[in-house]
């Protein structure tokens, strides 16, 4: 696709984008991430408005376990590192490294989700928090839930990339698929950094 223009009747479509010369897919992922960032931005701004306007809002650290979520944050940062290592591996032609680091990244995502399930279980069934009880619960469960959905999607996405890696689909010269998946995974990490700060610490 990248060397010749594709002709549709009389219209010539460029096969390269000047922004991301490697692939259109990368530009597509960036545009998706911008839209997705706006979704999170809307939720965070709504949370900020509700919280700032409510003097009875509880201190998050009095309800939420900061230590556990600090561990979750650390896990997600670690999984970002294994993801960059996966991409670096395949760029050196190291197939085993790619598979190993992809598996570690997926494992990090699964551990994050397990800890989040544990946290939600504790909050809902032992501490009486819920999405409908008050604005604190509503914003907390929607924000962390929306992010958790992203982590889950990321685990599915990376598993598909791993399946393709096991089939030998990637090489030194052909690794755009890994790079694009990595962009998504790092974005999910970036969003968690913001959610952790604004929802748990602030």
Partner 1 sequence: MAAHSPEQLAHEQRRYLQVFAWLAILTAVELAVIYMPIPHLAIGSMLVLLAGTKASLVALYYMHLAVERRTLTYIALTPAVLCVLLVFALLPDLGAITRALTHAPPPAAAVEAHH
Give whichever of 124 and 190 is closer to partner 1, judged by the CB atom: 190
Helix residue ranges, H only, the chain: 24-52, 60-63, 66-91, 95-121, 135-166, 176-195
CA distances from 167 to 20, 57, 88, 98, 164 (A): 26, 52, 19, 12, 5
Give whichever of 12 and 31 is closer to partner 1, judged by the CB atom: 31
38 binds partner 1, rule: CB under 8 A:
yes
31 binds partner 1, rule: CB under 8 A:
yes
Q: Pick from 4, 19, 132, 167: which binds partner 1 (CB under 8 A)? A: 19
53 binds partner 1, rule: CB under 8 A:
yes
Q: Pick from 5, 6, 12, 77: which binds partner 1 (CB under 8 A)? A: 77
- DSSP assignments along 66-103, one per residue: HHHHHHHHHHHHHHHHHHHHHHHHHHTT-HHHHHHHHH
Give whichever of 55 and 167 is closer to partner 1, judged by the CB atom: 55
Give whichever of 121 and 171 is closer to partner 1, judged by the CB atom: 171
């Amino acid at each position: 696709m990248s060397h010749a223009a594709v002709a549709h009747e009389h219209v010539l479509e460029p096969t390269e984008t000047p922004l991301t010369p490697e692939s259109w897919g990368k530009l597509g992922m960036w545009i998706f991430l911008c839209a997705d960032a706006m979704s999170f931005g809307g939720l965070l701004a709504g949370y900020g408005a509700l919280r700032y306007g409510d003097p009875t809002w509880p201190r998050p650290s009095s309800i939420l376990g900061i230590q556990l979520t600090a561990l979750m944050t650390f896990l997600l940062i670690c999984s970002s590192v294994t993801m960059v290592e996966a991409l670096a591996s395949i760029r050196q032609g190291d197939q085993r490294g790619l598979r190993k680091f992809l598996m570690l990244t997926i494992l990090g995502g699964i551990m994050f989700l397990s800890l989040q399930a544990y946290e939600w279980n504790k909050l809902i069934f032992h501490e009486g928090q819920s999405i409908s009880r008050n604005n604190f619960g509503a914003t907390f469960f929607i924000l962390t839930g929306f992010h958790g959905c992203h982590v889950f999607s990321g685990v599915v996405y990376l598993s598909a990339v791993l399946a393709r890696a096991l089939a030998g689909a990637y090489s030194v010269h052909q690794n755009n698929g890994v790079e694009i998946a990595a962009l998504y995974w790092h974005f999910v990490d970036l969003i968690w950094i913001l959610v952790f700060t604004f929802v748990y610490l602030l």
